[in-house]
Amino acid sequence: MDTTHRELLRANGLVAGYGGQDVCGPLDLVVEPGQSLGIVGFNAAGKSTLLRTLVGYQEPVAGESVILGSFTDDSSFIYRKAVSVVFDEDAFFPSLSVEEHLQLIAGGHGMSQPQAAVEKELVFFDLEAARTAYPRRLSSGQRRRLLLAAALLRPSNLLVLDEPEQRLDPVMRAALAARLREVANTGTALLVVTHDPDFLASFADSVLLVSDGQISHVGVGEGAAAIARG
């Protein structure tokens, strides 16, 4: 595999769907390092389906999706090293504390200074006071922040988030949007599904609008307006 080329993700005529039935597409797309791509659309338009197909969690109905030249197989080590994904999960080990969950991610990615990275995310996501708490003691918003902390803690080339703003208060939403912008500036590409126009405008530099089975490339302003129209 050639890991030096600039394309992190390429979609060629990609059609997302289930069991041979189209949901949306076709899509031609190239995502390069540092690019921030928002995905917007109405409920049931197929945004999450598209996202899952783009990152290889789901077979495309037609076309192909290529990550880092060839790897869309999540059983490959390099894929797991390079791609950080958070879908709408809410899964934790009941006997591991907040801090231990993050230590697991830092250790599993072989980070050179794992505890420092953990401390940074605990501070950023305002989880310091809850660092020794078990998941059952956390509020819904705190659990969401823990998942996001895990995604941002680890190194990655491509960060994929499905509606990360959900269950976050406005202050944390704004902080997360700024953080995503900062992450993109370091060279990590972003693929983010969102329903929040302000959030979208804060981090994205281009938008995919999914509507009536069609996917179109639009500007950030038009994407935000599409969300606002509902």
Partner 1 sequence: MLAADPSEELANVPVDFDPWARNRVAEKSVRREDFWDRMGDAYISLLTAALVFAYAAGLALAFFDQMRGDPESGVVRFGLGVVPGASAASALVMLGMLGALALVSKLGPTAVDRAQGFWWLGLPVKRTGFLSRLLRQRLVSTFFFGAFLWLPIGYGSVLGGVVEGSALGVWLGAATLGLLFVMLSLLAAWAQTREAGGNFRAVLNLAMLAVLLAYLLDVLLRSTGTGNLAAFWALLPATLPALAQAGAWWVPVVLALLCLGGFAALAGQLQRIPSRELIARGAASEHAGAALALMDDKALGSAYDGAGAREGKREEAKRERTRVRGADSFARMLPAHWVRGPYTALVRAELLVLLRTGATWRGLLAGWGVPAAGVFAVQGGHPLVLAMLVLVGAVLAARAASKAAVQAANVPSLEAIIPLGRSGVRQTHALVAALLLVRWGIGLAAFLSWAVGADPAGTTVLLGLGLLTGFGLAAGAVRMAFRPALDWGSVMLMAAMGKATGPLIQHFTYGYEVMVVSAIALVAGLLLDPVPLGLLGLGVVVAVIAWSVGTSNTNRSNAHRALQSQRSRPILRDGP
* Residue choice 13, 18, 28, 116 for contact with partner 1 (CB under 8 A): 18
Of 16, 158, 14, 138, residue with least CA distance to 84: 158
Pick out residues in 95-154 that bind partner 1 (CB under 8 A).
Answer: 95-97, 100-101, 103-105, 107-110, 147, 150
Taking every pair of Cα atoms in the chain, the longest distance, rounded to a whole number of angstroms, is 48
Cβ distance 107 to 114 under 8 Å? yes
* Residue choice 9, 11, 15, 17 for contact with partner 1 (CB under 8 A): 17
Pick out residues in 25-44 that bind partner 1 (CB under 8 A).
Answer: 33-34, 44
Of 132, 157, 148, residue with least CA distance to 31: 157
- The DSSP bridge partners found for residue 189 are 158
What would the x/- binding string for partner 1 be over residues 168 to 207, using CB under 8 A? ---------------x--xxx-------------------
Of 152, 160, 162, residue with least CA distance to 196: 162
Amino acid at 40: V
Pick the stretch among 69-77, 123-131, 165-173, 200-208 that binds partner 1 (CB under 8 A).
Answer: 69-77
Which letter, b or e, does each residue of 122-131 get, where b requires 16 or more Cβ atoms within 10 Å of its Cβ? bebbbbeebe
For residue 6, what is the DSSP state? S
Beta strand pairing call for 189-193 and 206-211:
unpaired
Closer to partner 1 by CB, 35 or 194: give it.
35
Closer to partner 1 by CB, 95 or 171: give it.
95
Of 179, 1, 154, residue with least CA distance to 82: 154
Total chain residues near partner 1 (CB under 8 A): 53
* Residue choice 64, 73, 128, 169 for contact with partner 1 (CB under 8 A): 73
Closer to partner 1 by CB, 184 or 227: give it.
184
Closer to partner 1 by CB, 49 or 194: give it.
49
Cβ distance 148 to 164 under 8 Å? yes
Applying CB under 8 A, the residues found at the interface with partner 1 are 3-4, 8, 17-19, 21-23, 33-34, 44, 49, 57-58, 68, 73-75, 77-78, 80-82, 84-85, 89-97, 100-101, 103-105, 107-110, 147, 150, 155-157, 183, 186-188
